[in-house]
Amino acid sequence: MIIMKEDVQKMVMISNQKLWFATTMVMLIFLQYGAAVGSQRVPAMFVFGDSLVDVGNSNFLNSLAKSNYLPYGCDFRTGAPSGRFSNGETFADMIGRLLGIPYLPAFADPNTVGTRILHGVNYASAAAGILDETGQHYGERYSLSQQVQNFQATLNQLRTLMNGTTLSQYLAKSIAILVFGSNDYINNYLMPSIYPSSYIYNPPDFANLLLNRYTRQILALHSVGLRKLVLAGVGPLGCIPNQRATGRAQPGRCVDYVNQILGTFNVGLKSLVDQLNTNHSGAIFVYGNTYGCFGDILNSPASYGFTVVDRACCGIGQNQGQITCMPLQVPCQNRSHYVFWDAFHPTEVASAILAWRVFSGPPLDSYPINVQQMSLL
C-alpha cells in the first residue's frame, strides 16, 4: 500500500491531541519558570552535541543521518520535520524554553548570521562523537572538535555586534549544553566490524580516552569566555531499541554489557566536573545524570505514564529498532506512552522529563547544582 504524505499528517493529527494533553502540565511549568528566569539573566544558550540535540545541522551536511522527513517532527510546534531526531522537541529545546530562550538556529543554516545568533546557536550534529572518527560511516558530521571551531566562527560574528566588555559579560552569563559520548559507543566502540577501538582499548581505557579528549575541548570553550557548562552523561544505551534488537539480551531485558561499560565514562565525567569546578573559580560546571534519570523511567515506567519501554514508536524489525523510522512510516498512535521514538532517540515526553529533572532536580539528577540554580549565579 502506498501511503501519501497527507495520510501520515492526518493519522498523526489524531494522536497529537493525546500527546499534548500528556505534556500540558510540564509545558505550563516550562512557561512559568521560563518567564521567571528570563532571557535577561541568561542572554544566550549554546548547544554542542549529537542527534539527541541536533536541530537541523544534518540537513545541510552530506550525511546518511537525516530526519528531515515525516513522521519526524509530527508533534513539533510547526507540525513538520525540522531536522530534530524526535517526534517533537529535544531535551535542549526544553531547557532553552525554561530559560526563556527561543529555538536556537542551526549553525550550518546559511541564514544563521547577524542578530539571529544573539540568543545562541546550536552546533549539534547527528552521528557526531568526542572522537573525530566516530560516526564516519554516516558521512559528513561535525565532531566535537569541529563544533568548537564552529563556535569560534560565531564568536567572530559576535565581536562585530558588541564590544569586548559586553561580549565577555554576555559569554559569562550564557549557558552551554554539551551532549556527547553516545555515538562513541554505538557508532564506534560497539561496531568492531568498522572501527578497531574495541580491539585496541578495554572499556575503562576507552572511557579514559574519551574523557581526555573531551576535557581538551571543554577547556577550549572555557578559554574563550564560556563560564557555565552543562555536561550530560550517557544514558543506558543497552536499553535503546537498537541495542535490544541485536539479540544480545533476553526478551524484555537490556543489553547489560553495554550499560556496564558506560559506568567508567559517566563516573569519570562526574569526577571531571569536580576537578573543573575546583580548578576554575568563577566558572560552574554541571553533570547531568542522564543515565540515572532514564534508569528511573525504565525501572518504574508506570509512575511516569509510560507503558512501552522496550521498543520504538517508529521503526522496523525486532523492537522496531533494526531499521530506524522511515519516510512516511506511520508511527504509533499513543506516543505519550512510549519512552523511545525511534531506534536511538527518546520521545518528546521522555525528553521533557529529563529536561525538567536537569533543570530543577536535586544533586542526584544535576550535580552539584541544577540548571535553574546555575542560571541565577
> Active-site residue among 51, 125, 174, 182?
51
Read off the pLDDT of each residue in 81-101 and give the average, rounded to a whole number: 97
Q: What per-residue confidence (pLDDT) applies to 40?
A: 62
Asked if 287 and 270 count as a contact pair (C-beta separation under 8 A), the reply is yes
Check pLDDT > 70 for residue 321. Answer: yes
At 4, the pLDDT band (50, 70, 90 cuts) reads very low
Percent of the chain exceeding pLDDT 90 equals 87
Q: How far apart are the first and last CA of the chain?
A: 57
Q: Residue 82 has which C-alpha cell?
A: 525540522
Q: What per-residue confidence (pLDDT) applies to 20?
A: 42
Read off the pLDDT of each residue in 3-8 and give the average, rounded to a whole number: 42
> Active-site residue among 119, 342, 365, 366?
342
**Residue 280 is among the residues annotated as catalytic for this protein:** no
For residue 43, whether the previous peptide bond is cis, meaning omega lies within 30 degrees of 0, is: no
Q: What per-residue confidence (pLDDT) applies to 38?
A: 46
**Residue 168 is among the residues annotated as catalytic for this protein:** no
How is residue 115 annotated by DSSP? Answer: G
Check pLDDT > 60 for residue 290. Answer: yes
Please give the angle made by the CA atoms of 181, 184 and 188, to the nearest 5 degrees.
Answer: 165
Check pLDDT > 60 for residue 14. Answer: no
Q: Residue 278 has which C-alpha cell?
A: 575546583
26-65 per-position pLDDT tens digit:
544 544 544 444 446 899 999 999 999 999 999 999 999 9
Nearest CA to 297 among 346, 350, 244, 337?
Answer: 350
Average pLDDT of the chain is 91
Q: Residue 60 has which C-alpha cell?
A: 545541510
294-315 per-position pLDDT tens digit:
999 999 999 999 999 999 999 9
What type of residue is 64?
L
Burial class, 65, CB count within 10 angstroms (exposed 0-12 / middle 13-18 / buried 19+): buried
At 252, the pLDDT band (50, 70, 90 cuts) reads confident
- Name the β-bridge partners of 177: 47, 230
171-212 per-position pLDDT tens digit:
999 999 999 999 999 999 999 999 999 999 999 999 999 999
d(CA 263, CA 268): 8
Residue 271 backbone zone (phi > 0: left; psi -120 to 50: alpha; other: beta): alpha
pTM of the model: 0.92
> Active-site residue among 63, 125, 310, 345?
345
Nearest CA to 212 among 265, 281, 285, 152?
Answer: 265
Percent of the chain exceeding pLDDT 70 equals 89
**Residue 7 is among the residues annotated as catalytic for this protein:** no
Check pLDDT > 50 for residue 5. Answer: no
Q: What per-residue confidence (pLDDT) applies to 34?
A: 45
At 250, the pLDDT band (50, 70, 90 cuts) reads confident
Q: Residue 263 has which C-alpha cell?
A: 559506568
d(CA 61, CA 63): 5
Check pLDDT > 60 for residue 24. Answer: no
Angle formed by the axes of helices 290-299 and 348-360, to 10°?
130
